[in-house]
A and B are shown apart, each in its own frame.
Chain A
């Protein structure tokens, strides 16, 4: 079984400050890991993914995440927050594609508020 824990359901940052969203996972097999962003009443947009290549993954909109196997973590960062980063962020885990396909297990989500 796989699971994801996102520490902090809400994060408030000032515009221009560092954004750090924490994600820890549990998986019995080497995982694929994802970060998604969701704006109100919209679907999910992929920010970045880890699929067993480079451990430091760069995504869209200036976000990046580092896979740390020893810590079972995949924290998301952005050096400088922008007002448009205010949204809900989800960390997700899946198995490498097999019979189950890309079935995702999501964390609880972290809502980011950006203060001017």
Chain B
């Protein structure tokens, strides 16, 4: 149980285009999901907290108009990187809180984004 599926696992896009990444909780309801970003050989940095049915809360320094987050249901949150540039190339990972299993978050497999 407590499986989080992230899709796609990797994507290559051209500069100026937008890319959508999906994070789904497969067997539990997730009222809260988190989006992290990881640069090569670095740690994970929290980008935003996504709550079902409300606006996401962004960490300082993260552009909310560039990284659009939607959490329309208890099992799905999406991150859209708008007008992507090469510096947006990174590994993006989501995690989800399970209401019934409240001592840990469950992570997706991550998405490797390369902007060319």
Contact = CB atoms under 8 A, between A and B. Distances in A.
Which one of A36, A94, A106 has the greatest number of beta carbons of chain B within 10 Å? A106
18 contacts: A34-B104, A41-B91, A41-B110, A41-B112, A42-B110, A44-B44, A44-B95, A97-B97, A97-B103, A100-B49, A101-B31, A101-B32, A102-B34, A102-B105, A103-B46, A104-B44, A104-B95, A106-B43
Given A49-B104, A101-B34, A102-B95, A42 B43 contact: no
Interface of B: 6, 10, 31-32, 34, 42-46, 49, 91, 93, 95, 97, 102-105, 107-110, 112
Contacts of A45: 107
Interface residues of A, number: 24
Chain B interface, DSSP helix/strand/loop, else mixed: strand
Interface of A: 32, 34, 36, 41-46, 49, 51, 90, 94, 97, 100-109
Contact of B49 (A49, A97, A101): A101
A108 B103 CA distance: 22
Closest 5 CB pairs of A and B: A102-B105, A101-B32, A43-B109, A44-B107, A97-B102
A101 B42 CA distance: 24
Nearest to A49: B104
Contacts of B107: 36, 43-45
A108 B44 CA distance: 8
Which one of A36, A43, A44 has the greatest number of beta carbons of chain B within 10 Å? A43
Nearest to A101: B32
